[in-house]
Structure 1
Amino acid sequence: MKILVLNASPKGKHSGTMKLTESFLEGIKKIEDCEIDVIDIYSLDIKPCEGCFGCWHKTPGACVIQDDMSKCLELLKEADLILWSFPLYHYSIPAKGKMFLERTLPLVLPDLVKTPSGCTHPSRYDKEQKVVLLSSCGFYNIENNYEGLLMQFSLLYKEYTKVLCAEGPLLNIPEVSYFAEQYLDNVRKAGEEYARTGQINEETKELLDKPMMPIDMYLENAK
Structure 2
Amino acid sequence: MKITVFNGSPWGERGHTHIMAEEFEKGAVQAGAKCRNVLLVSKKIQPCNECGTCMFKTPGVCRMKDDMPELISEFVDSDIVVFATPVFIDNVTALMKTFIDRLLPVLEPHYEKDSNGEYRRRKRYKTYPKFAVISSCAMPEQSNFQVLRLYFRRMARTMHTEVVGEIYRGAAGLLLLSEKEFRFKPMVDKYKELLRASGKELVEIGRIGPNTTERLEQPLIDSDEYVAYANKMWDQLLTERRTPAFAASR
| TM-score above 0.5 | yes
Which residue number corresponds to residue 165 of structure 1? 169
1:70 paired with 2:69, answer: yes
Written as runs of structure 1 = structure 2, the 5 A alignment for 1:1-223 is 1-32=1-32, 34-115=33-114, 116-143=116-143, 145-158=144-157, 159-160=162-163, 161-173=165-177, 174=179, 175=181, 176-222=184-230, 223=233
Per the normalisation by structure 2, the TM-score is 0.84
Q: Any conservation in 2 of the 1:142–1:165 contact (CA below 8 Å)?
A: yes
User: TM-score normalised to the size of structure 1?
Assistant: 0.94
Looking at CA atoms only, which structure, 1 or 2, has the larger radius of gyration?
Answer: 2
User: Is the deviation greater in 82-91 or in 113-122?
Assistant: 113-122
Report how far residue 77 of structure 1 moved: 1.5
Structure 2 unpaired stretches of 5+: 234-250
Q: CA deviation at 1:189?
A: 1.3
Structure in which a larger fraction of residues adopt helix: 2
| Higher relative contact order, structure no. (Cα contacts within 8 Å, ≥ 6 residues apart) | 1
Verify the 8 A CA contact 1:166 1:210 in the aligned structure 2: no
Hey, what's the Cα distance between the residues in 2 that align with 1:109 and 1:209? 37
TM-aligned CA deviation for residue 122 of structure 1:
2.6
Asked if 2 retains the 8 angstrom alpha-carbon contact of 1:17 and 1:87, the reply is yes
CA distance in 2, matches of 1:156, 1:122: 14
Tell me the amino acid that sits aligned with residue 146 of structure 2. E
Instruction: Tell me, in whole angstroms, the C-alpha distance in 2 between the residues paired with 1:125 and 1:12.
Output: 30
The answer as to whether partners of 1:141 and 1:210 remain within 8 angstroms in 2 is: no
The size of the alignment, in residue pairs, is 221
Corresponding letter in the other structure for 1:157: A
Runs of 4+ in 1 over 4 A off after TM superposition: none
Q: Deviations over 1:134-174 (max 9, x none)?
A: 0011121112x222222211111042120111111111012
Shift of 1:177: 2.1
Q: Which runs of 5+ in 1 are unaligned?
A: none
